[in-house]
Structure 1
Amino acid sequence: MVQDRSSVPRPTQVGLFVTCLVNLMRPSVGLAAIELLEQAGCVVEVPPGQSCCGQPGYNSGDIENSRKLARQVIAAFEAFDYVVVPSGSCAGMIAHHYPNSLFEGDPDWAQRARNLGAKTFELMSFLTDVMNFVPEQPLYDLSERHVTYHDSCCGLREMKVKEQPRQLLKKICNIDIDEMEETEECCGFGGSFSAKMPQISARLADNKIENAEATGADLLLGGDLGCLLHLSGRLRRQGKTLKVHHAAEILAGQINGPAIGEIVEEEQ
């Protein structure tokens, strides 16, 4: 009997917005995101026409160049069912700032921005809230590791990401988070903030590291690479051993890979 193809649900088509930092500094996060999305049943594509989301210029007041970048992103992604981003800050730029403020006075692009923003999700939120990706049994048992988690500002406040990564880490890796004090406080990165106000930025990072270490954790996770690069850099300068990973890497089984900022000597 020939199956009626019209009755077969079409797989969810996802465009992965890789982000500049992942592309340049930590490609393993992008590869982990693809693996997780495919495990959840999605067909994933990384459009070659994507660019920076425009957030650095937007935050610095360069609205015109931010619009140019945003138009390029919209054109590259608007045909997909969903746009998924392994970063709360870039996801927030596309989901909120594109439609709410970037295209004032340009109704055509404003509507296209609203359409794209409505289907843009941070990775952890998409896996849980949209795809309901919850394995029946843990894929990895990391219950013996002591893990704490940093909630990034944009992921938490703009994209409403809080319980989703904790749920995934428990269901996939059997990890119970050792929650730190002030986990929702800024780590001090804040994009250009860390360059404009380095002393305040460093102090905020030190507070975050102190709270993370107080939990006894040997692994610090988060969902925004900017925050994680900032914290890992500060840890290295202080000669500390706390390892830093993007949560997607751990969820994809990359626990034995080098931590962010870790220098791995090649075998001779």
Structure 2
Amino acid sequence: MYGPTPLTPTIVLVHGAFTDASSWAGVISRLQAAGLTVRAPANPLRGLVQDAAYLRSVVRRLDVPVVLVGHGYGGAVITHAAAYSGPYAATDADNVVALCYVAALGLDAGESVQDITNRFATPETDATFTAALLGQCSVGPEDELYIRKERFPEVYAADLPTSVTNVLSVTQRPIARSALTGRSGPPAWASKPSWYAIATADRMLNPTAQRFMAQRMAATEYLLDGSHAVVLSQPGAVAAMIREAAEQGTTGRSDGDGLRPTR
């Protein structure tokens, strides 16, 4: 007697800071063309605990296997959301079968975004962030951060045309300063298979930091010669990695998609 046919996972894409869900457009079209169901919810960017709680509620409502994909700060959110172990453990997103990180923050327990960026600081990110106008000039945790318009192309998206970065720089979604200091809970990558696309020309999140996090989580690594905006500049390569994770989430194995992983 044959068992039930394994369900193909739904792909949930989580954007990072300074952008929105439209950054996944090229990836989404390729995943949909491959027959995959995709969701790309808005990441609130208000704080790690709040953002993870929102994502967790989105994932639970799907009631199907899920591959979570995070870009940049979105990586910290999926890490926390998929392994929540607080007082409401019954509400965990236990339908997550795999994690994909794209130039993303895969934090460890008790770690913050700022811990990683301070440890792996780059000259390019010095003085990049500035408080958005909130009717005050304080530097408290309630402030919001954005990338200075004149520095956006070189820091965030050096491999995209000027016509594109000019638009991206003025449509940024700011992130609450407190999101950078929020502490992660037990990491989902400790118990779930993970993939990591390292953007080797990233000037926002040091590629050395990316490689460190990928190796720490024992992820299947892919090297992509792109900026932090690699989801926009190389959507085909990103989509291929996600398809591999979805295949393994369905069958428990992977035949690859033409990318060459590094270990």
- TM-score for the superposition, normalised by structure 1: 0.38
Return the index of the structure with the highest Cα Rg.
Answer: 1
- The structure with the greater share of residues assigned to strand is 2
- TM-score for the superposition, normalised by structure 2: 0.39
